[in-house]
Structure 1
Amino acid sequence: MLPLNDPVLTVLLCLLAYLTGSVLFAIPVCRLWKLPDPRAQGSGNPGATNVYRTGGWPPALATLVLDALKGWFPVWLAIWAELSVFAQAMVALCAVTGHMVPLFYRFQGGKGVATALGGGLALAPVTTLVISAIWGMMMWRWRISALASVVAIGCGPLVSAVLEPETLPLFGLLALLIVVRHRNNLIRLAQGRESRF
């Protein structure tokens, strides 16, 4: 463990996670690929799905991986430092919160799904892989990213309660945050206006 007591290290890693989460990789990725700003296209969400709509799979995959890594890395640091599962979960939540309300972009961010994926893979890999499989099945059936994300993360608390119960509070909060962030998508879905892949 690093030579810092747990509360100080937890606060430092939470701050690091929030700042790392505040980097919206969709924006530099689109600049690199010479694509329009994702915040001004489609749903206006700076995430992999919206990047895919304007640039296809390569920039979307790059966005997904980078957004996931910014969730995975600070949680991995917390695990390496042997912090408690509760502290690790706090770090993961801070990373997701950073993506949703980023300091560097006037607190206007994305949905947090990819960042939650990265944090979840570090902290609760079995639960996260099951949730990812649910997402994949929903996408295969309906081709609607928002629907797949909401259903998958909505199953998160139940899956974690069965497989990795110590992470249930994390997946409960993630489900709440991500479903709320998808509220406009859910309204469009109810109206039959949500975009398909």
Structure 2
Amino acid sequence: MDASSQPLLIVILCFGAYLAGSVLFALPVCRLWQLPDPRALGSGNPGATNVYRAGGWQPALATLVLDAFKGWLPVWLAHTLGMSILMQAIIALCAVTGHMIPAFYRFKGGKGVATALGAGLALAPATTAIMAGIWLAVVWRSRISALASLVAITSGPVISALMEPETLPLFGLLALLIVVRHRNNLIRLAQGRETGL
């Protein structure tokens, strides 16, 4: 498929990816498990880490999988339809942006790490798998999810340049967006006040 000849389909997929990203699964998962609102815990982020703090690994894993799936699905659809790497990357960014600035929650969302994970697995599985391994190693050593996310996401451009160079622009932009979303965590890390798991 020549993506440039399918502008309506591109718009539909980008808008659909943004709306999918706008569903913050941490909130329905917490309601299902009868847990407190994750936005009232820790960093206030509606993501898997705060769900873990509220209710343990089972609801946190559900949140992680669902948030990753909403990033994976639109990119997989774009790939299945034969769209270029560039168009898949744009659609991935739409999904991550939806999580960060969700239409359904007054544009106050999360940090986009799990959604970026799902989108990355669809577009650049080798790069993303290595980044996930880095995240696991750092969180195992430090017990600080924000630090693990920052180390993993900032390693993305280097890894993608070596492994899947056509995806370097995507990982560069994801690193920039996610680091900016973690600015308060960076301040707390510098002050030694960041909350661990």
TM-score range, shorter chain: over 0.9
Normalising by structure 1, we get a TM-score of 0.97
Partner of 1:133 in structure 2?
Answer: 133
Q: What stretches of structure 1 of length at least 5 have no aligned partner? A: none
Q: 1:48-127 residue pairs with structure 2 within 5 A? A: 48-127=48-127
Q: CA deviation at 1:73?
A: 0.3
User: Alignment partner of 2:150: what SS?
Assistant: helix
Q: How far does the alpha carbon of each residue in 1:141-174 deviate from its partner, in whole angstroms, 9 at most, with x for none?
A: 1111000000110000000000000000000000
For the 8 Å contact 1:13–1:78, the answer to whether it is kept is: yes
Instruction: State the identity as a percent.
Output: 73
User: In the aligned structure 2, how far is the partner of 1:23 from the partner of 1:162?
Assistant: 33
Q: CA deviation at 1:5?
A: 3.6
User: In the aligned structure 2, how far is the partner of 1:21 from the partner of 1:111?
Assistant: 11
User: Alignment partner of 1:117: what SS?
Assistant: helix
AA matched with 1:110: G
User: In the aligned structure 2, how far is the partner of 1:11 from the partner of 1:135?
Assistant: 33
User: In the aligned structure 1, how far is the partner of 2:177 from the partner of 2:36?
Assistant: 28
User: In the aligned structure 1, how far is the partner of 2:119 from the partner of 2:196?
Assistant: 27
User: Alignment partner of 2:14: what SS?
Assistant: helix
User: In the aligned structure 2, how far is the partner of 1:150 from the partner of 1:35?
Assistant: 27
User: In the aligned structure 1, how far is the partner of 2:41 from the partner of 2:158?
Assistant: 35
Alignment length (residue pairs): 196
Q: What stretches of structure 2 of length at least 5 have no aligned partner? A: none
User: In the aligned structure 1, how far is the partner of 2:37 from the partner of 2:177?
Assistant: 25
Q: How far does the alpha carbon of each residue in 1:20-56 deviate from its partner, in whole angstroms, 9 at most, with x for none?
A: 0000000000000000111122211000000000100
User: Alignment partner of 1:19: what SS?
Assistant: helix
Partner of 1:196 in structure 2?
Answer: 196
Partner of 1:16 in structure 2?
Answer: 16
Q: CA deviation at 1:16?
A: 0.3
AA matched with 1:189: L
AA matched with 1:146: A
For the 8 Å contact 1:67–1:118, the answer to whether it is kept is: yes
User: In the aligned structure 1, how far is the partner of 2:163 from the partner of 2:7?
Assistant: 28
Partner of 2:167 in structure 1?
Answer: 167
User: In the aligned structure 1, how far is the partner of 2:13 from the partner of 2:5?
Assistant: 12
Displaced runs of 4 or more, over 3 A: none
Partner of 1:185 in structure 2?
Answer: 185
User: In the aligned structure 2, how far is the partner of 1:9 from the partner of 1:165?
Assistant: 26
AA matched with 1:63: T
